[in-house]
Amino acid sequence: MSAPTMQQVARRANVALSTVSYALNGTRPVSEETRLRIRQAMADLGYQPNALARGLASKRSRIIALLFPALPRGFGATELEFVTGAAEAAQEHAYHLVLWPMEIHAVGELQQLIRQNLVDGVLVMEVRLRDERIDLLRHISVPFSMIGRPTDASDLSFADIDWEQTTHDAVTYLVGLGHRHVVFLNHTEDAFNAGYGPAVRAAATFDQVAREAGLMPISRFCGDTALAGQEVFEELVTAHPELTAMVTINERATVGVMQGAAMHGWRIPDDLSVISVASSARVAEMTLPPLTSLTPPSSELGHLGVETLIGQLEEETSELVQRLLPCRLVIRGSTGPSPDPARPRPRVP
Amino acid sequence: MSAPTMQQVARRANVALSTVSYALNGTRPVSEETRLRIRQAMADLGYQPNALARGLASKRSRIIALLFPALPRGFGATELEFVTGAAEAAQEHAYHLVLWPMEIHAVGELQQLIRQNLVDGVLVMEVRLRDERIDLLRHISVPFSMIGRPTDASDLSFADIDWEQTTHDAVTYLVGLGHRHVVFLNHTEDAFNAGYGPAVRAAATFDQVAREAGLMPISRFCGDTALAGQEVFEELVTAHPELTAMVTINERATVGVMQGAAMHGWRIPDDLSVISVASSARVAEMTLPPLTSLTPPSSELGHLGVETLIGQLEEETSELVQRLLPCRLVIRGSTGPSPDPARPRPRVP
DNA sequence: CTGAAAGCGCTAACAC
DNA sequence: GTGTTAGCGCTTTCAG
């Protein structure tokens, strides 16, 4: 009834316990013939190695942890794709992925979990520009890799969205449509100040690209709610009536902007173009019109993050892996040519 | 450098190894004084028990698996909340949660994973009315619990949305607003035939409740895309011009219906009321107008599922836990009084 | 109330 | 090429 052990396999195949182990792991050459006998015995018994025993003896559990912030700006479809991608990648490499939801400053808790020696390594998601978790992991020298990256990541492995490239693509696309008055809609100022990478990097790039294109770099922070988005729309078109396009990285606020526009009789994209950066297809297809967006490679990031980590765990030569993936431009209905300045747009009181 | 062991704690506290174990687990009375000495020694060394060793010796890993379908109808915010809830609950009980994404028929793979003896139990999500995974788990008698439930769940533990109650609430709310011509928008026919619980239960309840209220129970299957939703809108208002309200359980199609309505000049809720069952707040707030919806208790379900399972693992008396949680009605902007039949609505060609 | 010792099922020396 | 054996760090009898 209870699971067959390696000892039982060994007896059935008439070999020593260790030979079974060697055959199983390929740790030592085993003659073709005995290998076959062992295989057969395993099959007969339906043997599966005991993960705990293996881990204890080898000091390698083949379990990795995914560390994610407990209550971030509100997780959405993008994050789930990421998690799923990571879990799949782990499975493909015969690892297990455990979930460690954790408040971002709960470093003590993190340390305790690590000390349990359950996991071989940690994949940290939503890394901040300054991030205590990273400091800790570095300090206790646990293998880890990151999605996102702190300010100085020169000696660390990571996979991240290429915010610079992606923001550049967004602006360039709008400029190509003739827009000269583009604003950038960011996350909240708090997120920015907390060193949330996307908020900081995209903003900086926007400023730079806009300037290079000869535009005024106007931007706004915005709460992560539809209501906040509506309010920002009203404020913006009042303060900058010449505005014809927006680049947004704040999904929920983006929806608010579109609602605000609709409520004031502005038509998208005729009166205003909107391009949403790093917004999932799921959400982009949900608005009316559907959002032109730069779709994040969530699942790829998950895979990459896990594979980078496993690479570190298995290679002797643990070389750095630093990958920046761009978002993919998907043109939907929310962007169009810059409106004719002669044609008046509905007044926003 | 390497993690302190129980042996080291024992030496430092001048007690036997086993006494440390007993003190740690409370498995046997230990005098106040020695307990204190041991505590101190642990603190001094920063001791954390080795999870693998503990698991191997006790045959209880304190790891549970979350089994979820690899490519379901498209996971969204709701599912992530659920997963997060489950992970949190596990952590609160000092368990670890591993993710096993798996094709729903890959029962062999499931069995292999279980045989590794890594996990103490399994939480299955998205359970179908007939579900091979459940058959397997039953058969090899692994502790498990479910989110959702098969047709005959009389002897199994589960937590599920109360689809009957929820659907009932939706219809009742619309009827209360004066609607007499209500249709039900389901998931795809394939999902229905595959025994996807929500699709089957909500449909059956809708029919019954509608009949009891003296309404014609009209319903439609629909692809899980906005486009499919648009098409169904057109088909429906053509086939049933008297229609004034819809109950939907298909989030993406719901959005399509609203888009279709908008495209044909129908105003929501003036011309048509829409109530979305089991749709997350995140999505509901995204449409214009925001969707009146029955918000699923995702996080609670996650917690409950995990706690039910842990209950089974720890109690001697493993009594059944069967919990049905209703969705919570959140009235937003997509529902209103039934329109005056005298007032014509825009024609849909 | 405490100790000593036998495993849990496996890996990885160390032998031959 | 294969066998023997000493642990991995803990739980849990069995003895006192």
Percent share of chain B, pLDDT over 70? 98
d(CA A235, CA A237): 6
pLDDT of A288: 84
The reply to whether B34 has its C-beta less than 7 Å from any atom of strand C is yes
Of B74 and A331, which is predicted with more confidence?
A331
Q: Is the pLDDT of residue A117 over 60?
A: yes
pLDDT of A281: 86
Mean pLDDT in residue range A94-123: 96
Query: Which nucleotide lies nearest residue A16, CA to C1'?
Result: D3
Q: Is the pLDDT of residue B204 over 80?
A: yes
Q: What is the pTM of this model?
A: 0.94
DSSP at A101: E
d(CA A284, CA A293): 7
Mean pLDDT in residue range B25-50: 94
d(CA A217, CA A323): 28
Q: Hey, which CATH number is domain A163-295, 3.40.50.2300, 3.30.365.10, 1.10.4080.10, 3.40.50.1100? A: 3.40.50.2300
B283-319 residue pLDDT tens? 888 888 999 999 999 999 999 999 999 999 998 777 8
Query: Which nucleotide lies nearest residue B33, CA to C1'?
Result: C1
pLDDT of A1: 56
Q: Cβ of A104: how many Cβ atoms within 10 Å?
A: 20
Question: Does B63-161+298-326 match B6-50 at the fold level?
Answer: no
Strand partners, B96: B63
The reply to whether B34 has its C-beta less than 7 Å from any atom of strand D is no
Q: Which of B80, B102, B280, B334 to probe the A interface (max A CBs under 10 A)? A: B80
**Contact in structure between B15 and B51 (CB atoms under 8 Å):** no
pLDDT of B78: 79
**CB contact burial B182-221 (16+ within 10 A = b; e otherwise):** bbbbbbbeebbebebbbbbbbbebbbebbeebebebbbbb
pLDDT of A316: 72
d(CA B324, CA B310): 18
pLDDT of B288: 84
B39-82 residue pLDDT tens? 999 999 999 999 999 999 999 999 999 999 986 556 677 788 89
Give chain B positions within 8 Å (CB) of A3: 115, 117
Q: Is the pLDDT of residue A349 over 90?
A: no
Question: Considering chain A, what is the average pLDDT of its residues?
Answer: 94
Q: Is the pLDDT of residue A128 over 80?
A: yes
> B163 burial class (0-12, 13-18, 19+ CB within 10 angstroms)?
buried
Q: How far is the CA of A346 from the C1' of C15 (A)?
A: 90
* Domain map (residue ranges) of chain B: 6-50, 63-161+298-326, 163-295
Q: Nearest to residue B234, comparing CAs of B288, B202, B243?
A: B243
pLDDT of B74: 61
Q: Is the pLDDT of residue A72 over 60?
A: no
pLDDT of B319: 84
Query: Chain A window 172-201: which residues touch B at a Cβ cutoff of 8 Å?
Result: none
Mean pLDDT in residue range A120-125: 97
pLDDT of A176: 97
DSSP at A227: H
B99-138 residue pLDDT tens? 999 999 999 999 999 999 999 999 999 999 999 999 999 9
CA of A165 vs chain B CAs: smallest distance (Å): 27
pLDDT of B229: 96
Any chain A CB within 8 A of the CB of B284? Answer: no
Q: How confident is the model at residue A74 (pLDDT cuts 50, 70, 90)?
A: low
Phi, psi of A274 (to 5 degrees): -130, 130
Q: Nearest to residue A191, comparing CAs of A245, A110, A251, A234?
A: A251
Architecture of the domain defined by B6-50: Orthogonal Bundle (1.10)
Range in A26-40, A242-256, A308-322, B253-267 with the lowest mean pLDDT: A308-322
Strand partners, B161: B325
B329-339 residue pLDDT tens? 999 999 999 99
- Residue appearing with tokens 């929820």: B166
pLDDT of B282: 83
Q: Hey, which CATH number is domain A63-161+298-326, 3.40.50.280, 3.40.50.720, 3.90.1200.10, 3.40.50.2300? A: 3.40.50.2300
Q: Is the pLDDT of residue A179 over 80?
A: yes
pLDDT of A77: 73
Of A9 and B71, which is predicted with more confidence?
A9
The reply to whether B16 has its C-beta less than 7 Å from any atom of strand C is yes
Q: Is the pLDDT of residue A65 over 90?
A: yes
Query: Chain B window 64-123: which residues touch A at a Cβ cutoff of 8 Å?
Result: 70, 74-77, 79-81, 83-84, 87-88, 90-91, 96-101, 112, 115-118
Q: How far is the CA of A113 from the C1' of D3 (A)?
A: 39
Q: Inspect the interface and report whether the beta carbons of A118 and B52 lie closer than 8 Å.
A: yes
pLDDT of B2: 79
Query: Which nucleotide lies nearest residue B56, CA to C1'?
Result: C8
